[in-house]
Amino acid sequence: MQLFTLILLVFVAQIAAFAPTSNNRPTFSRSELRTEKYNILDAFGSMISNFGKQARASHILIGPRDWDSEEEARERLIRLKDEIGNDPAKFAEAASRISGCPSAKKGGDLGFFGPGQMVKNFDKVVFSEEVGVVHGPISTQFGEHLILISERTGEN
């Protein structure tokens, strides 16, 4: 309930930011609020529909500095995925050795996070693919990833 209250307060604060300070307040229709720049109604709807959803995932990142070509990075991760299988201990060990992310110190563990907190391609995998399975390689602006989804909560 506290999280819902917080979300509602954020929503009200966003609406208040649009209110002019003069007495000549313009009115906005629902369609005017639905602009790409200020899509508050959709954002609020998304917050409500994702309320309580969380995932825990680990990843192995090979960043652009760590490869000669994107193809080389993908091939390296495909070989690594075959070696690891879906074994969380092997994944954590490989992440500690290979990953270019600071999370490597924790075996690639990113902890729990909600929808929209990670980059789009990463987020899509974590919140739609099978738990307990290594997925990838997945391309993002940070490089190429293998992702192990440990758990997900708040699903219907």
How many domains in the chain?
Answer: 2
Same domain? 25 vs 60: no
Same domain? 42 vs 119: no
What confidence score (pLDDT) does residue 68 get?
79
Same domain? 12 vs 86: no
Structure confidence by residue, pLDDT tens digits, 17-31: 555 555 555 565 555
Structure confidence by residue, pLDDT tens digits, 39-64: 555 555 555 555 679 999 999 999 98
CB contact burial 114-128 (16+ within 10 A = b; e otherwise): bbeebeebbbebbbe
Same domain? 67 vs 103: yes
Same domain? 128 vs 67: yes
Same domain? 81 vs 98: yes
What confidence score (pLDDT) does residue 155 get?
72
Q: What's this model's pTM, rounded to 2 decimal places?
A: 0.69
Q: Is the bond preceding residue 115 a cis peptide, omega within 30 degrees?
A: no
Dist. CA 137–CA 89, nearest whole Å: 19
Residue 7 structural domain? 2-49
